[in-house]
Amino acid sequence: FGILICGTGIGISIAANKIKGIRAALAHNEFTAKLSRLHNDANIIALGARVLGDSLAIACVETFINTEFEGGRHARRVGKIEK
């Protein structure tokens, strides 16, 4: 896993996704952090330092690293992204 932080998280997630094998997802809350792993197998979480407070950022990271990829119907889409 990786954690990237910039002002909004937008720019760093765009830049990271240019690198083969990286699936960076911008998280705004615990729900988006969880779904980025559960449904999209994100391996990098991007956070906005100007957008999130410390406690919410920590909660997002903890949720992200403790959520497993669900696979199943989502695996096909993730496979297409990798091509």
Distance CA 79, CA 83 (A): 7
Supply the pTM of this predicted model.
0.90
Active-site positions? 6, 39
CATH code for the domain in which residue 65 is found = 3.40.1400.10
Distance CA 41, CA 35 (A): 9
**pLDDT, tens digit, for every residue of 1-10?**
999 999 999 9
Mean pLDDT of the chain: 95
- What is the tally of structural domains in the chain? 1
Range of the domain at 33: 2-82
pLDDT at 76 over 90: no
Give me the percent of the chain exceeding a pLDDT of 70: 100
Enumerate residues 6+ apart whose C-beta is below 8 A from 29.
56, 60
